[in-house]
Amino acid sequence: MKTISEASSLIRAGELSPVELTRSVLARIERFDGKLESYVDVYEEEALSQARAAEAAVTRGDRLGLLHGIPLALKDLYDVAGKPTLAGSAVREGHVAAEDSAVTTLLREAGAVLVGKTVTHEFAFGVVSAPTRNPWNLDTIPGGSSGGSAAAAAAGLCLGAMGTDTGGSIRIPAGLTGLVGLKPTFGRVSKRGVAPLSWSLDHAGPLTRTVTDAALIFQSITGFDPADPDSVDEPVTNVLAGLDSGIAGLRIGVPANYFFDDLAPGVAAAVQAALDVLADAGAELVEVTVPDVECSREVVTTIVGVEAALIHREELRTRPHDYTEDTRERLTAGAAIPGTAYVDAMHRRRLIVAGFRSALSEVDVVATPTLPVTAPPYGIAPPEAMAALTRLTSPLNAAGLPALAVPCGFADGLPVSLQLAGRPFDEATVLRAGAAYQQRTDWHTKHPPLTE
């Protein structure tokens, strides 16, 4: 399956039909998704109609958007007008969106073909995303909560997909399935029309095969939205300009505390090799310390627990048994957290932000492992999976900084991932560092055995 950038170039040259590309994606869904279970809804008729319109626009010589004719999927938290947004829960049974989410609208304007909705862990409150399986090994999980988006994109059942990230839910599944996952700066991409988990921690972003593809989607969906109270009115940067200009002289911070503790041996080796590649590309590796980062997971757990309990307060009171046991227990626990603990978590969150600001005053980008382990076995208890997978991603949610997961190797046949994070609203530098790494490696070209 082609990457977004490859397919886009061929479509613009008139050498690839958006209709045939969409048909091939739908055929792959039909062939492989019985095993993966990554989709909750496939928009076959609508997708083909959009593809025909995209093809007609090429024939007419119309001006084309960055994603013209590209089949993409949406995590089942994003509203699509006239379609259900179930958020993986019986609580939302019968819910039909009245209008598109802001991101859905922008993807349409960029010319994307929307092929369907993907599985999410219920209300994005977990990292398992059952029943979806990891295409690299069907006996392992794809991670979450954007696990359906990751499995679909990794297996070529779309060319890219949208996810959300509250404690790592874009980067975790990207890391476990060998994808690129981008969590933009908090407030950079509108969350209007996306079912919330935690108002102050939720981010929207893409999962793709390559950094260039992530940049194409990000460029298409970023911008100020006055209808989203968390949207930040910050000038939109052209992250595509200079994306391939290299990283000679870039200062990359390697934390001496927290992030490299207790890694699986294969993960540690792959990430160290990735750092060596960055150094060979001309970057200067600098040891840094990120003060107060050690409390990140506790801080994020407290904030998410309280905010999610408030969002679900009415439904938890009137229909608790429509939630899965795992989600119900998390929401109930969140409702029991005292206000003083929430205020303390918000205070400690400011310390985490200051700690990253201190580290990033010395360097341009910080590099860490995305995850301490490879994909856990299918059937792992959700609390155990959460503890194992969010430790290295949640600090970037607390800080609200742009963070990118990039595949950097394999351990025991499963993907390993490098995490790159940068200053607020400096997605361009983070993406440039990721692109420089992918120019010198081929991990992103590997395909899961399921799809071969």
Cα 12 to Cα 54, 119, 211, 239, 385, distances in angstroms: 11, 31, 20, 21, 43
DSSP conformational letter for 293:
G
Length in residues, the chain: 452
Q: Is 183 a catalytic residue?
A: no
Cα 248 to Cα 66, 229, 251, 437, distances in angstroms: 28, 38, 9, 12
What whole-number distance in Å separates Cα of residue 112 and Cα of residue 123?
25
| Helix, coil or strand: residue 68 | coil
What whole-number distance in Å separates Cα of residue 302 and Cα of residue 60?
54
SS3 letters across 143-171: CCCCHHHHHHHHCCCCCEEEEEECCCCCH
Catalytic residue among 8, 169, 190, 220: 169
Strands 403-411 vs 284-288: parallel, antiparallel or unpaired: unpaired
Catalytic residue among 5, 75, 129, 146: 75
Strands 365-369 vs 414-422: parallel, antiparallel or unpaired: antiparallel
Within 13 Å and on the Cβ side, how many CA atoms surround 362?
16
Q: Is 129 a catalytic residue?
A: no
What phi-psi label fits residue 132: left (phi over 0), alpha (psi between -120 and 50 degrees) or beta? beta
Q: Count CB atoms within 10 A of the CB of residue 264.
A: 16
Catalytic residue among 8, 38, 101, 145: 145
Close Cβ partners of 45 (under 8 Å, ≥ 6 residues apart): none
Contact (CB, 8 A) for 404 and 211: yes
Q: Is 191 a catalytic residue?
A: no
Cα 389 to Cα 168, 286, 363, 401, 435, distances in angstroms: 8, 26, 26, 19, 25
| Short-list 435, 379, 429, 426, CA closest to 401 | 426
Contact (CB, 8 A) for 70 and 104: no
What whole-number distance in Å separates Cα of residue 144 and Cα of residue 124?
8
Catalytic residue set: 75, 145, 169
